[in-house]
Amino acid sequence: MKTIEIAPITVDGKARIGLFFRYDPSLIGQVKRIPGARWDPKQKCWHLAAVAGMIENLVIRFHDLAVLVSPETSSTGEIYQGSSRSGRADVPKEYLKVMQLKQYSRKTIKTYTVMFRMFMRYFSDHALNQITGEEIRDYLIYLSEEKMVSQSYQNQAINAIKFYYEKVLGQPRQSYYLQRPRREVHWPSVLSEEEVMRILKQVNNLKQRTALSVIYSAGLRISELINLRLEDIDTARAQIRIRQGKGKKDRVSVLSPNILKLLRKYYQAYRPKVWLFAGQYGGQYSAGSIQTVFRRAREMAGIRKPATVHTLRHSFATHLLERGTDLRYIQELLGHQSSRTTEIYTHVTQKGFRNIISPFDNLDM
């Protein structure tokens, strides 16, 4: 996933809010549309005025990205100088402590913290334990109708609020029940087997081609690929072991014989020590590098449909289904908790679809 980091900077002696992210033309286009956005060539970042409400607006605008907010940047968009942080609507310490005890991911903790801090600012004249369910619903309507946030963003806000009242305060569910918005249903983009082959053939670098091939061959998320260690390749059982995938669950996926041949060739050339795919300086491989390689290969292959590295995972599942693999096995390979998540691939498979004859073909034209 693309990441954008929001952090305080100083430009010409003035406090500004800096936006740091890898080069991406579409993201640059979004930033340019923000009034007052300017590029700083020295610090190599875009920056905006440090005004009240700016952080919230940025989080809403870039809700589809992994947004990292520096702790030195306040929830109001103001940048703190020195140690004075008076007036900051900070989350209760217990809120953070419970998330840490439950071993929530760093990304989830940051998301919940930003969401709940915005909630607290909205009710700055209320004690948290005195906010009613009706008032919370009014806040969600405010997000939807005035801030015009997406349904996924609103769901994240609900989760952050519910976590405080249910997990931190231990209140019964009915005291803070919230009507959740209906999620939009989007079918995943899927590449054909021929399109996957065309993309992989455009990648000449052995490490990059092997990395993308492993993702497609085993249906991995990009984070799962870069977390693979040498011992996770079980040649005896023909399995790839995925440790602590999404939801902190372990699982196994298939190790293709052809992938094993490619991995052996890759190992002979690169001799990785700890991580199966190491970066330039020995650490984990960069997710951004893999995404860049895929995007270029897709363009060189002449494929115009929207596709990312994650599309390889969707394609893996769809191709298995088209070849007759039981949906339950696909669910296990992907690590889906619910079968309903896996069932979405039944909507994009071409199995049986090509056998349907349009009634137009029966007309004697």
- Delineate the domains of the chain, giving CATH numbers in brackets: 3-79+88-176 (1.10.150.130), 193-347 (1.10.443.10)
Which pLDDT belongs to residue 77?
Answer: 47
State the DSSP string of 203-272. Answer: --SHHHHHHHHHHHHHT--HHHHHT-BGGGEETTTTEEEE-S-TTS--EEEE--HHHHHHHHHHHHHH--
**330 alpha carbon, distance to own chain's centre:** 21
In the predicted model, what is the mean pLDDT of residues 99-115?
84
Residue 57 has pLDDT above 60, yes or no: yes
CA distances from 149 to 33, 60, 100, 108 (A): 18, 6, 28, 19
Could you confirm whether 176 is annotated as catalytic? no
106-122 and 151-162 helices, crossing angle to 10°: 90
Q: Is 336 a catalytic residue?
A: yes
pLDDT at 82: 34
Q: How confident is the model at residue 363 (pLDDT cuts 50, 70, 90)?
A: low
Q: What integer is the mean pLDDT of 56-80?
A: 59
What does the DSSP 8-state code read for residue 361?
Answer: G
Mean pLDDT across the chain? 81
Cα Dmax for the chain: 82
Q: What would the pLDDT profile of 175-213 be if each residue is shown by its tens digit?
A: 544 555 555 556 778 999 999 999 999 999 999 999 999
- Write out pLDDT tens, residues 306-333: 888 989 999 999 998 888 888 888 888 8
Choice among 221, 251, 298, 319 that is catalytic: 221
Quote the percentage of the chain above a pLDDT of 70: 79
Kindly report, residue by residue over 6-19, the tens digit of the pLDDT: 877 888 888 888 88
Task: Tell me if residue 38 is catalytic.
Answer: no
Residue with tokens 């913290």: 113
* pLDDT computed for residue 76 by the predictor: 44
pLDDT band at 127 (very low <50, low <70, confident <90, very high): confident
Active site residue 310: yes
Look at residue 223 and tell me whether its pLDDT is greater than 90. Answer: no
Contacts of 301 (CB under 8 A, 6+ apart): 195, 198, 199, 201, 202
The one catalytic residue in 207, 251, 313, 319 is 313
Report whether pLDDT(279) > 70.
Answer: yes
* Residue 74 reports pLDDT greater than 70: no
DSSP character string of 58-82: HHHHTTTSEEEE-TTB-TTS-B--T
The whole-angstrom separation of Cα 294 and Cα 189 is 15
Catalytic residue among 63, 162, 246, 295: 246
Q: Is 261 known to be catalytic?
A: no
Catalytic residue among 95, 122, 216, 345: 345
- Looking at per-residue pLDDT, the higher value among 55 and 185 belongs to 55
Residue 85 has pLDDT above 60, yes or no: no
Query: Which band of pLDDT confidence, cut at 50, 70 and 90, is reported for residue 152?
Result: confident
The pLDDT, as a whole number, for residue 69 is 61
Question: Between these two residues, 76 and 6, which has the higher pLDDT value?
Answer: 6
pLDDT over 50 (residue 31): yes
Q: Which pLDDT belongs to residue 204?
A: 95
- Model pLDDT for residues 237-273, shown as the tens digit of each residue: 999 999 876 666 789 999 999 999 999 999 999 999 8
Report the pLDDT value the prediction gives residue 120, as an integer from 0 to 100: 87
Q: Distance (Å, rounded) from C-alpha 105 to C-alpha 117?
A: 18
Question: Is 221 a residue of the active site?
Answer: yes
Span 135-156, average pLDDT: 77
More confident residue, 291 or 81: 291
